[in-house]
DNA sequence: CGATGGCTTGAATCGGCTCAAAGCTTGTGG
DNA sequence: CCACAAGCTTTGAGCCGATTCAAGCCATCG
């Protein structure tokens, strides 16, 4: 696969290419627009605050970010995770003010596209315009799935589902392979994402390890039994709408190819 | 306010006008596109099924619809409510297949816009294109707020919040006034929307009535104490992004103007 | 080497769920 | 115009997944 690496906008181009076949010029235009103005934010720093008037379309070029809002008792809810190549929703200029805040999870490089440039990008090429629509629609679909998760999946299923989703989103842009992925989320972050208490997330992660489904260490997560995880979570990747390049077979492979750990010892506890 | 009533697309035009100042021709173009192909569906009938390949952009012209997905144990989760003038998300043609199903709550008239016509609409006028983006972004914002509700608000707050939201969405298109609104949702629907069990919704609705906050009857809901409801729900209407025409003052008025019921008798129970 | 932030553990509690049954409405057909 | 069915609403009792509170532990980093 052609890799426009070296460029900061690599992830973005790769992501938009998932949906549409971009020409060389289109790729270049996207790169230009997205890297004309960049901003680096250190891990755990706020990127924008609720109530701000967004002046740019914000796109994550490198690192992980999130959108969140605080609840009454001071615990926050993460409303979206933004991985490389994804836009931070609602930082879109059309809306008057941000209805939630944005924070960097890792060190992050953002691309900030001015409204005029964004409009220009959309008007120049129908292909690009549709790719941007696709991004927006997929981000909507992810939110629907989160709503579904919050009401239909219990703690362990929710976390397993989140892991499957993140793995697919990362691997689709080449940021994860072999059922291993960078994993900068703390248990507190996971709690804020899944709507669980940190304590319960802790116990649930222990359970996932005990079941030999995952292995976590040094900011990296390994899916020991991808198929088992996907089964547990009832993970159906259709909502990510990756199918243009990522055909159904590939998706299946991605999660269902890892060797099941089988009955090979080391799990002798109730 | 100019009222394009009589036309099926009245609600749609009114809704898009919330964001942008549409010219007479633009309004006409929207009406034409949205009513060229319509479809009536009886209450409780399915409009589209998960897995379908959407062939049109679907917009609710009259009535209420919802998007949903079934959970393991047969209980369903409603992922979105679609009121007159709103589009059913993800029925957008760009996505290959529906990742959830659509159902009519009341009798419904849908407008179905062919992809070519939709594209045409977007290209013809920047104003219209931005209004459609706005619609999409607001629908995303509503989903974020639902996610927030599911984790940060308890049963009574969640239901109160839903009521406030629906009232604002309806009144913004002129489909509700005076803190009264049509209310076709059954308690089972509310349960499927808020992620609660029908039994618990029942008890919670009783509580809302006992608190003299709402009064429900004959498919109509009356907010007896709009400010009290909004307080209870910690309802902040900013996420609906109605502010262009609906200035902050008007929004405040809408929910905070009704006379508090005061201490005027009739609530002498525990 | 102390401190900060993340992870782990236990015990008690609770909001909302399940199951089960009975009362209401509303619409339909005879 | 009544009777019945179907679906919605209501009530009670018992239960459970997840929470809260309160420590203690463990790494990492300046």
A117-126 pLDDT, tens digit each: 999 999 889 9
pLDDT at B237 over 80: yes
The whole-number average pLDDT for the span A167-190 is 96
Q: Distance (Å, rounded) from C-alpha A191 to C-alpha A178?
A: 26
Q: Give the pair of three-digit tokens for residue B83.
A: 């009121």
Say what the pLDDT of residue B72 is.
83
Say what the pLDDT of residue A247 is.
52
Residue B5: CB partners within 8 Å, gap ≥ 6? none
What confidence tier does A138 reach under pLDDT thresholds 50, 70, 90? very high
B15-51 pLDDT, tens digit each: 999 998 999 999 999 999 999 999 999 999 999 999 9
Say what the pLDDT of residue B89 is.
75
pLDDT at A200 over 80: yes
What confidence tier does B262 reach under pLDDT thresholds 50, 70, 90? very low
Q: Which nucleotides of D are covered by protein (CB under 7 A)?
A: 7-13, 17-22, 28
Q: Is the CB of A73 under 7 A from strand D?
A: yes
Q: Distance (Å, rounded) from C-alpha A18 to C-alpha A6?
A: 19
**What is the 3 state secondary structure string of chain B?**
CCCCCCCCCHHHHHHHHHHCCCCHHHHHHHHHHHHCCEEEECCCCEEECCCCCCCCEEEEEECCEEEEEECCCCCEEEEEEECCCCECCCCCCCCCCCCCEEEECCCEEEEEECHHHHHHHHHHCHHHHHHHHHHHHHHHHHHHHHHHHHHHCCHHHHHHHHHHHHHHHHHHCCCCECCEEECCCCHHHHHHHHCCCHHHHHHHHHHHHHCCCEEEECCEEEECCHHHHHHHHCCCHHHHCCCCCCCHHHHHHHHHCCCCCCCCCCCCCC
What confidence tier does B91 reach under pLDDT thresholds 50, 70, 90? low
Say what the pLDDT of residue A269 is.
32
B161-207 pLDDT, tens digit each: 999 999 999 999 999 999 999 999 999 999 999 999 999 999 999 99
Distances (CA, A) of B204 to A34, A77, B159, B229: 49, 24, 8, 13
- The candidate with the shortest Cα–Cα distance to A105, out of A58, A59, A63, is A63
What confidence tier does B90 reach under pLDDT thresholds 50, 70, 90? low
Q: Distance (Å, rounded) from C-alpha A139 to C-alpha A149?
A: 15
Distances (CA, A) of B116 to A136, B10, B59, B130: 20, 22, 16, 18
**Comparison of pLDDT for A42 and B246, the residue scoring more:** A42
User: Nearest-CA distance from A18 to chain B in Å?
Assistant: 12
User: Nearest-CA distance from B6 to chain A in Å?
Assistant: 30
Q: Distance (Å, rounded) from C-alpha A135 to C-alpha B137?
A: 12
**Comparison of pLDDT for A248 and B65, the residue scoring more:** B65
Q: Is the CB of A154 under 7 A from strand D?
A: yes
The whole-number average pLDDT for the span A161-189 is 96
Q: Which residue of A has its CA nearest to B119?
A: A126
Q: Which residue of A has its CA nearest to B153?
A: A71
Candidate from A47-61, A80-94, B184-198 with smallest mean pLDDT: A80-94
The whole-number average pLDDT for the span A231-240 is 96
Q: Distance (Å, rounded) from C-alpha B231 to C-alpha A215?
A: 45
Question: Could you tell me what percent of chain A has a pLDDT over 90?
Answer: 79
Taking the CA of residue B180 and the C1' sugar atom of nucleotide D29, their distance in angstroms comes to 60
Say what the pLDDT of residue A96 is.
87
Contact at 8 Å (CB) between A52 and A58? Answer: no
Say what the pLDDT of residue A263 is.
38
Report the SS3 class of residue A220: strand
Q: Is the CB of B199 under 7 A from strand D?
A: yes
Q: Distance (Å, rounded) from C-alpha A135 to C-alpha A137?
A: 6
Say what the pLDDT of residue A270 is.
29
Q: Which residue of B has its CA nearest to A233?
A: B72
Which of B151, B190, B195, B233 to mutate to test binding with chain A, by most A CBs within 10 Å of its CB? B151
Candidate from A254-258, B150-154, B193-197 with smallest mean pLDDT: A254-258
Q: What is the mean pLDDT of chain A?
A: 88
Contact at 8 Å (CB) between A167 and A223? Answer: yes
CB contact under 8 A, B234 and A94: no
- The candidate with the shortest Cα–Cα distance to A252, out of A235, A266, A264, is A235
Taking the CA of residue A207 and the C1' sugar atom of nucleotide D20, their distance in angstroms comes to 21
Residue A77: CB partners within 8 Å, gap ≥ 6? A68, A69, A70, A71, A192, A195, B147, B148, B151, B152
Residue with the two structure tokens 């991985």: A83
- Chain B hits for A137, Cβ within 8 Å: 89-90, 92, 94-95, 136
- Chain A hits for B100, Cβ within 8 Å: 144
Q: Give the pair of three-digit tokens for residue A41.
A: 């934010």
What confidence tier does B6 reach under pLDDT thresholds 50, 70, 90? low
pLDDT at B253 over 60: no
């Amino acid at each position: 696969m052609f890799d426009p690496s070296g460029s900061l906008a690599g992830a973005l181009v790769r992501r938009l290419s998932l949906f549409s076949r971009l020409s060389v010029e289109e790729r270049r235009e996207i790169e230009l627009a997205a890297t004309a103005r960049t901003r680096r934010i250190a891990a755990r720093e706020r990127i924008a605050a609720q109530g701000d008037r967004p002046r740019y379309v914000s796109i994550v070029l490198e690192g992980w970010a999130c959108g969140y809002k605080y609840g009454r008792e001071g615990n926050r809810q993460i409303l979206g995770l933004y991985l490389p190549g994804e836009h931070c929703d609602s930082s879109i200029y059309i809306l008057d003010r941000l209805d939630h805040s944005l924070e960097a999870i890792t060190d992050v490089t953002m691309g900030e596209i001015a409204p005029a440039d964004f409009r220009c990008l959309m008007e120049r090429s129908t292909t690009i315009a549709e790719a941007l629509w696709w991004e927006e629609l997929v981000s909507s679909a992810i939110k629907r799935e989160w709503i579904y998760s919050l009401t239909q999946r219990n703690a362990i299923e929710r976390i397993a589902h989140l892991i499957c989703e993140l793995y697919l989103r990362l691997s689709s842009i080449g940021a994860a392979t072999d059922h291993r992925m960078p994993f900068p989320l703390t248990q507190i972050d996971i709690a804020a994402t899944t709507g669980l208490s940190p304590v319960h997330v802790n116990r649930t992660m222990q359970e996932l390890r005990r079941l030999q489904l995952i292995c976590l260490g040094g900011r990296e997560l390994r899916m020991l039994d991808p198929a088992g995880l996907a089964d547990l979570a009832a993970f159906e990747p259709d909502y990510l709408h990756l199918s243009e390049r990522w055909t159904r077979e590939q998706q299946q492979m991605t999660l269902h190819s890892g060797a099941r750990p089988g009955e090979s010892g080391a799990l002798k506890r109730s």
